[in-house]
C-alpha cells in the first residue's frame, strides 16, 4: 500500500473549530538557548489578560512556525500560552538542520526553558503531528521534569516508517528533504507534482541507482547520502527512538492519534505498542489511542472525503477541542474528555460510529482464516484469479500447483502505475487489471452477511524464487457487489529482511521460505453482504519506490547492469499452507 500522505503533506490545512473571542498577544523573535549555545527561535502566543501564569504548549517544527499560527491562536484564546519553535537550522533558528538528529536534546532544553518563564506556571505540554509527533516522543524519551503530557498525532518513527520501511526507501524522501532544505519554507517547490514526477520517472526509465536521485533533482545539500549509508536500523537510527528502559520510565499521560490512511500510522502504532510492551501498568493506563478514518492531514483536521471515499458526520471530531479538553484534564485538574470512554477509540466504517475497547488486542473478538488456492496455478489477474477460502490445504487435492509470476526489473510498463496525486486513490482499481504477469491475485467468495473487520490482518505465505533478494507488496481490497472497490490495507517486505530488519540474509535459490506479513495498516470497515475480498501480491516496480534489481547487493547502488529476473512461486499445498487471517468483530458494539 503506497504511503501517499506522509510527514509534510497539507501542513497548512485550515481549521474548522470556532475561535473564542478572547484577545491575545504574541512575542516575536523569542530566542531559546540550547545547551551547546545554539539559539532556537520561537513565536509565543498568550492571552492578553493573564492574572496568573498559565500552562505552556509548544510545537517544534521544521515547517516554519508561521504555518501553525492558527493553532497557536486557538489555544492562546482558550487559556494557554503557545510557543511555535523552529527546529535548529530552519526558519529563524540558528544551527544546521539534520532531520531527527537533534530534537531529543533540543526538546528537553525547550521544555525546561519554557517552564522557567514568568508567564509559565511550570507545566509544559506539546502539540503536533507527523514530524512534530516524532519530536514529542524524542523529547519524552529524555524525560524533562516539567513535561506534563504529549499528544502525538501521525508520529513518524525513524527507521520504522520514514525514511524507509523494512529497508525500502521511497522517492518521496528527496522531495521532503527539498521541502525542508535551507532556512525558509519551500511549499511551492514541494508541491510541484509535475517536476517531481518527471524526475522520479527519469531515474526509473534510465535504470539509474536510487542513490543518484538527489543529484538528479538538483539538491545535494541534504542528508540523503547519509541515509543511503544506513538502509536498516542501526546505532544511527536507534539514537532517535526510545529504548525499552526509556519506555519503562514514562510516567505522564499520552494521547496518540492516527488514521487508517495515515502514511505514518506504522510509526504512530509502533510507539504505542512499544509503550504497551515496556511501560508500567500505571503509565499504560494513562495512554489513550484514537484511530479514525483519516489520511495524514486528517489526524489534525479531519475530512469526511478521503481518496474517493466519504465517511459519516461522526468522523469529524473537533480535535482542537479534544486537545484543549485533554490539556485541561492533565494540566488544569479538569475532567477527562468525555469522548475517551475507554483507552482505545476507533471508528467503524459502515456503521459510521465510534467504538471503544480496553486495548488494541481487545478490539476483535475472533479471527477468520482464508487459505490461498488456485486451479492449476492460475492466479495472475483479476479475471483468472486464485481463491481465498476456508478449506485447509489438507482437505484439498494432494497435487496443488504453485502460483507463479515473473518480476523483471527492466520491464518499465508497471512504472506507469502511480497513485500520487490521484484524488480517488482508495477506489482506483486499474492496477489489478494491468499486472503484466508481475503478480498474483486471490478472491474470496461473496460474504454471506455484513462483517466488521477491525484491526491488522496477517498474511503467511510460502514462496520460492531463483534470486537472492526481491521486494514484495501486498494489498487487500473490498470488491463491492456493484463491482466497485475499496483499498483496505497493505504491507511490504524486502525478502532479505524476512526474519529480521537488522540482519539481512539472502534467499537460497529454489528454497521454499515462509514470509510473514505482519505490518499491515490497521483499519475498521464493515464488509457488505455480497462483497468479496481481493488480495494482490506483487513485486513493486514504480517510479515512486526504490527499485530492487534482485542481485542481493546494495539496492541503492544497483542499476540495470545488476538486474536479474525473478521467477517467483507461491505454494499452498498441505505442507505449505498459505493463508490470510482477518480480525473480526461480532456481537453488540462497544459504545
Q: Give which of 270, 330, 262, 328 is closest to 300, Cα–Cα.
A: 262
Q: Which residue has the cell 525547550?
A: 110
**Distance between CA 228 and CA 226 in Å, rounded?**
5
How far apart are alpha carbons 299 and 322 in whole angstroms?
12
Compute CA distances 477 → 330, 450, 498, whole Å: 40, 16, 24
pLDDT of residue 424: 75
Q: What's the fold here for domain 24-167+232-357?
A: Rossmann fold (3.40.50)
Residue 216: CB partners within 8 Å, gap ≥ 6?
A: 199, 202, 203, 208
Q: Containing H/E element for 85?
A: strand 81-86
CA distance 512 to 462: 6
The DSSP 8-state label assigned to residue 309 in this structure reads E
Model pTM score? 0.94
Q: Which residue has the cell 470556532?
A: 18
Strand order in the sheet with 344-348: 128-129, 152-153, 254-261, 287-295, 344-348, 353-357
C-alpha cell at 398: 494432494
- Residue 534, SS3? strand
Residue ranges of the chain assigned to CATH 3.40.50.1820: 24-167+232-357
Closest-CA residue to 538 (of 397, 385, 341): 385
Q: Per DSSP, what are the bridge partners of residue 164?
A: 169
- For 49, 71, 76, 211, 319, the CA distances from 22, given in Å and listed in that order, are 9, 14, 8, 52, 20
What pLDDT, on the 0 to 100 scale, is given for residue 530? Answer: 97
CA distance 549 to 23: 60
- Which residue intervals of the chain bear CATH 2.60.120.260? 366-585
Q: Which residues pair with 287 in a beta bridge?
A: 254
Residue with cell 526510545: 242
Closest CA to 373 of 520, 576, 519, 530: 576
Which positions ≥6 away from 529 have C-beta within 8 Å?
A: 446, 447, 448, 449, 450, 481
Contacts 24+ apart (CB under 8 A), 498-501: 501/166, 501/167, 501/232, 501/233
pLDDT recorded at residue 2:
41
| pLDDT tens, the chain, 591 aa long | 344 334 543 343 444 444 445 899 999 999 999 999 999 999 999 999 999 999 999 999 999 999 999 999 999 999 999 999 999 999 999 999 999 999 999 999 999 999 999 999 999 999 999 999 999 999 999 999 999 999 999 999 999 999 999 999 999 999 999 999 999 999 999 999 999 999 999 999 999 999 999 999 999 999 999 999 999 999 999 999 999 999 999 999 999 999 999 999 999 999 999 999 999 999 999 999 999 999 999 999 999 999 999 999 999 999 999 999 999 999 999 999 999 999 999 999 999 999 999 999 999 999 999 999 999 888 888 888 999 999 988 766 556 899 999 999 999 987 655 555 577 778 865 555 667 778 999 999 999 999 999 999 999 999 999 999 999 999 999 999 999 999 999 999 999 999 999 999 999 999 999 999 999 999 999 999 999 999 999 999 999 999 999 999 999 999 999 999 999 999 999 999 999 999 999 875 444
CATH class of 366-585: mainly beta
Amino acid at each position: 500500500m503506497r504511503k501517499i500522505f506522509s510527514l509534510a503533506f497539507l501542513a497548512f490545512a485550515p481549521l474548522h473549530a470556532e475561535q473564542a473571542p478572547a484577545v491575545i498577544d504574541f512575542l516575536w523573535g523569542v530566542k531559546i538557548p540550547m545547551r551547546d549555545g545554539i539559539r532556537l527561535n520561537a513565536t509565543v502566543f498568550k492571552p492578553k489578560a493573564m492574572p496568573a501564569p498559565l500552562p505552556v504548549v509548544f510545537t517544534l517544527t521544521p515547517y516554519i512556525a508561521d504555518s501553525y499560527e492558527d493553532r497557536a491562536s486557538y489555544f492562546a484564546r482558550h487559556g494557554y500560552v503557545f510557543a511555535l519553535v523552529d527546529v535548529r537550522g530552519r526558519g529563524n533558528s540558528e544551527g544546521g538542520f539534520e532531520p531527527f538528529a537533534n530534537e531529543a536534546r533540543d526538546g528537553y532544553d525547550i521544555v525546561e526553558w519554557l517552564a522557567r518563564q514568568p508567564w509559565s506556571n511550570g507545566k509544559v505540554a506539546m502539540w503536533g503531528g507527523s514530524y512534530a509527533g516524532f519530536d514529542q516522543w524524542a523529547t519524552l524519551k529524555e524525560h524533562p521534569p516539567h513535561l506534563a503530557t504529549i499528544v502525538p498525532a501521525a508520529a513518524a518513527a525513524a527507521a520504522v516508517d520514514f525514511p524507509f520501511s523494512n529497508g525500502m526507501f521511497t522517492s518521496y524522501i528527496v522531495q521532503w528533504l527539498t521541502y525542508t532544505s535551507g532556512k525558509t519554507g519551500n511549499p511551492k517547490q514541494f508541491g510541484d507534482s509535475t517536476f517531481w514526477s518527471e524526475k522520479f520517472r527519469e531515474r526509473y526509465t534510465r535504470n539509474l541507482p536510487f542513490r543518484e536521485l538527489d543529484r538528479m533533482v538538483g539538491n545535494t545539500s541534504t542528508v540523503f547520502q547519509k541515509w543511503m549509508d544506513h538502509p536498516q536500523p542501526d546505532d544511527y537510527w536507534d539514537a532517535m527512538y526510545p529504548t525499552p528502559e526509556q519506555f519503562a520510565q514514562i510516567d505522564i499521560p499520552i494521547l496518540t492519534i492516527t488514521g487508517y490512511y495515515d502514511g505514518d500510522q506504522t510509526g504512530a502504532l509502533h510507539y504505542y505498542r512499544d509503550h504497551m510492551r515496556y511501560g508500567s501498568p500505571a503509565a499504560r493506563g494513562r495512554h489513550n489511542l484514537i484511530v479514525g478514518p483519516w489520511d495524514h492531514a486528517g489526524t489534525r483536521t479531519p475530512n469526511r472525503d478521503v481518496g474517493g471515499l466519504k465517511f459519516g458526520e461522526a468522523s469529524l471530531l473537533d480535535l482542537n477541542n479534544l486537545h484543549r479538553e485533554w490539556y485541561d484534564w492533565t494540566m488544569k485538574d479538569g475532567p477527562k474528555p468525555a469522548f475517551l470512554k475507554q483507552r482505545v477509540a476507533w471508528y467503524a466504517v459502515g456503521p459510521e460510529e465510534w467504538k471503544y475497547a480496553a486495548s488494541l488486542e481487545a478490539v476483535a473478538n475472533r479471527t477468520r482464516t482464508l487459505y490461498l488456492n488456485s486451479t492449476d496455478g492460475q492466479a495472475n489477474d483479476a479475471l483468472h484469479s486464485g481463491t481465498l477460502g476456508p478449506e485447509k490445504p489438507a482437505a484439498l487435492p494432494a497435487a496443488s500447483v504453485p502460483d507463479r509470476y515473473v518480476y523483471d526489473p527492466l520491464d518499465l510498463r508497471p512504472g506507469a502505475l502511480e497513485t500520487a496525486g490521484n484524488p480517488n486513490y482508495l477506489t482506483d482499481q486499474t492496477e489489478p487489471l494491468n499486472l503484466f504477469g508481475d503478480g498474483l491475485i486471490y478472491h474470496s467468495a461473496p460474504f454471506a452477511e455484513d462483517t466488521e473487520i477491525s484491526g491488522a490482518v496477517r498474511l503467511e505465505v510460502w514462496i520460492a524464487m531463483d534470486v537472492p533478494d526481491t521486494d514484495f507488496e501486498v494489498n487487500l481490497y473490498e470488491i463491492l457487489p456493484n463491482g466497485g472497490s475499496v483499498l483496505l490495507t497493505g504491507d511490504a517486505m524486502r525478502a532479505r529482511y524476512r526474519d529480521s530488519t537488522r540482519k539481512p540474509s539472502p534467499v537460497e535459490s529454489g528454497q521454499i521460505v515462509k514470509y510473514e506479513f505482519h505490518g499491515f495498516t490497521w483499519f475498521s470497515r464493515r464488509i457488505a453482504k455480497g462483497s468479496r475480498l481481493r488480495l494482490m501480491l506483487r513485486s513493486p516496480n514504480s517510479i515512486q519506490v526504490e527499485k530492487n534489481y534482485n542481485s542481493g547487493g546494495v539496492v541503492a547502488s544497483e542499476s540495470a547492469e545488476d538486474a536479474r529476473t525473478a521467477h517467483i512461486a507461491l505454494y499452498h499445498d498441505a505442507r505449505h499452507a498459505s493463508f490470510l487471517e482477518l480480525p473480526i468483530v461480532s456481537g453488540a458494539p462497544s459504545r
